[in-house]
Amino acid sequence: MAAQTKKGDSKKSKENPKGKFSNFISEIINTFKGDTEVSLNMKKVIVATLSVVFFIALLMVAWIEGGRKRVLEFPDINVTSENEGCMNCHQVDTPGVVRQWKESAHAGEGVGCYNCHRAEEGEPDAFDHNGKWIATIVSPKDCATCHKTAADQFAASHHAKAGQILGSLDNVLAEVVEGHVIRDANGNKTKESAAAVSGCMQCHGSEVKLLENGKLDPATWPNTGIGRINPDGSKGACSSCHMRHKFSIAQARQPESCGKCHMGPDHPHIEIYMESKHGIAFVSDRPNMVEQMKKKQWWPGTDFEAGPTCSTCHMGATSDLEATHDVGARISWNLRPPVSEKIDTYEGREKPTWQERRKEMQSVCRKCHSDQWVGNWYIQFDDFIGLYNDKFGKPATKLYKFIREKGLITSVVTFDDKIEFTYFYLWHHEGRRARHGASMMGPDYAQWHGMYEVAERFYQEFVPELREIIEKNKRKGGTKRASALEAERMLNQILNSPMHKWFLGK
């Protein structure tokens, strides 16, 4: 049969050169129609053709494989010639750093060691390193070369000013009460307080100083505090949140990144978050959330629906809101001071107003919550802050300031009188815990770690200690007695008010 077909084909092809081809085509068509039997030769042709086609498909597979980006392995690394020298040594000297960098997006973009660490001769912290001018510290000013918007937003944030704690009450604790600073005859610091160096400054940031030999002063560096004051004058450390040298966006979005500093007795944000529904939802779906966090676009309600992290609400973009590195931009209350204030009423911050800030935060909330939910929640929140302010924050602050101002306690130094610690605990620890607990939906922090302890501190410590001070000064006579009587009148007025009269059994 096969031989016959072949003979017939060759005869036709001699008469008509097109015959062989048309026969071939018609045989294929008939083959698929199933009308005729397929000759063995034809089958061989089909096998050969299909083998070629399949081989081409395999080549296509190989081509796709060649161009495929691996996700978990190191991305395509682009080591430019100016960075090659750095790599050669640091692969041996600091292999961890190089490995981190290799996993970074910077590595894929050809942004290497020298691009960030380069310096100009004459810059305060520049030093000659194998023929190149290098600065150890990469400041926000350096990062702004490529990330200008983020750097500008950060510069306008409260975070950037965190280093200004150096003159605050907390710093008196770390430098005087807890620690010790050595000063020269002119009052200049010759040795920082170790408590401040290892404590406060690691979150708030140090003022980085250089030794006479040009090396970084160990009292001020290593430091990645968020408000670090850098030798180039810029403020902040991007690596505070974006850990070097991987600079992973997913890592910065983890709640623990903020939790390095936002934790503990005075502002237990990470603890409150973990207690909140947001935290529970995040932890429950953490593997998925971490995957989703790796993508640049990470909009709540669009790219994920589980638990938001700190960065989602305070910084993240949504379908109708830009991301911001001004982390306080969406906060409407300042919950840190003894008496909370709407945020546009301090530090001369008139714009944006607290209403505008709140509107932005509410637009984030609305990605997952209804208008009614968001509106009602803010009423609950405002009521809570109002209660703290009116019942404890304002009265305690008014009384404390009065006795200090009138000299009923020493006014030259702080924390030498017991009531100063009592007052500090009341607003700085318990008062903040209560307010932050309410602000971040952590009920136990609002109540038992919060308002309960504020109340106990106020009624069982602050008021008795104040009465003792009043009695002591009443016995002294003169202006002290007059001030003590005035303080007594103020205290009685407060305790007889509707909020407190229960304490007097009324």
Partner 1 sequence: MNNNIKKWFAERIPFTFESFKAFGSEPVPHHLKHWWWALGGTPAYLFVIQMITGVLLLFYYIPAEDAAYNSVKNITENISYGWYIRSMHYWSANFMIMAVILHVFRVFFTGSYRKPREINWMVGTVILAVTLLLGFTGYSLIYEQLSYWGITVVTQLLDAIPLIGQFVGDFFRGGKTIGQGTLSRVFIFHVAILPGLLIVLLTIHIAYMHTQGITKFKFAGDKDKKSFPFVPDHLITEIIIALILMFLMTCLAIIFPVHLGSEANPQITPDHIKPEWYFYFAFRILKLTSDTGAVLIMGFGYMLLMFWPLIDSGFRQKKPESERSILIGIFMVLTLVFLTLWEALELLFSH
Distances in whole angstroms, Cα of residue 489 to Cα of each of 170, 403, 405, 493: 31, 12, 16, 6
| Nearer to partner 1 (CB atom), residue 34 or residue 131 | 34
Name 361's Cβ contacts closer than 8 Å, sequence gap at least 6: 313, 330, 331, 332
Beta carbon of residue 32, minimum distance to partner 1 (angstroms, whole number): 7
Asked if 323 and 295 touch (Cβ cutoff 8 Å), the reply is no
Beta carbon of residue 437, minimum distance to partner 1 (angstroms, whole number): 25
| Nearer to partner 1 (CB atom), residue 38 or residue 490 | 38
Q: Where does this chain bind partner 1 (CB under 8 A)?
A: 31-32, 34-35, 37-38, 40, 43-44, 46-47, 50-51, 53-54, 57-58, 60-61, 64-65, 68, 70-73, 284-285, 287-288, 291, 306
| Nearer to partner 1 (CB atom), residue 37 or residue 383 | 37
Beta carbon of residue 284, minimum distance to partner 1 (angstroms, whole number): 4
Beta carbon of residue 297, minimum distance to partner 1 (angstroms, whole number): 17
**Angstrom distance (rounded) from CA 318 to CA 364:** 7
Q: Which string of b and e fits 223-236 if b means at least 16 CB within 10 Å?
A: bbbbbbbbbbebbb
The amino acid that residue 278 corresponds to is: H
**Angstrom distance (rounded) from CA 80 to CA 86:** 10
| Nearer to partner 1 (CB atom), residue 70 or residue 506 | 70
Q: By CB neighbour count within 10 A (0-12 exposed, 13-18 middle, 19+ buried), where does 293 fall?
A: buried
| Nearer to partner 1 (CB atom), residue 59 or residue 89 | 59
- Per-residue tokens: 351: 């714009």
Beta carbon of residue 2, minimum distance to partner 1 (angstroms, whole number): 9
Beta carbon of residue 66, minimum distance to partner 1 (angstroms, whole number): 10
Name 368's Cβ contacts closer than 8 Å, sequence gap at least 6: 300, 301, 305, 308
Distances in whole angstroms, Cα of residue 218 to Cα of each of 128, 175, 215, 299, 435: 20, 17, 9, 41, 37
Asked if 395 and 418 touch (Cβ cutoff 8 Å), the reply is no
| Nearer to partner 1 (CB atom), residue 21 or residue 74 | 74
| Nearer to partner 1 (CB atom), residue 252 or residue 289 | 289
| Nearer to partner 1 (CB atom), residue 38 or residue 250 | 38
| Nearer to partner 1 (CB atom), residue 35 or residue 350 | 35
Beta carbon of residue 53, minimum distance to partner 1 (angstroms, whole number): 6
Beta carbon of residue 143, minimum distance to partner 1 (angstroms, whole number): 30
Give the number of C-alpha atoms closer than 13 A to the C-alpha of residue 315, restricted to the C-beta side.
20
Asked if 91 and 98 touch (Cβ cutoff 8 Å), the reply is yes
Distances in whole angstroms, Cα of residue 50 to Cα of each of 44, 56, 58, 78: 10, 10, 12, 41
Beta carbon of residue 96, minimum distance to partner 1 (angstroms, whole number): 22
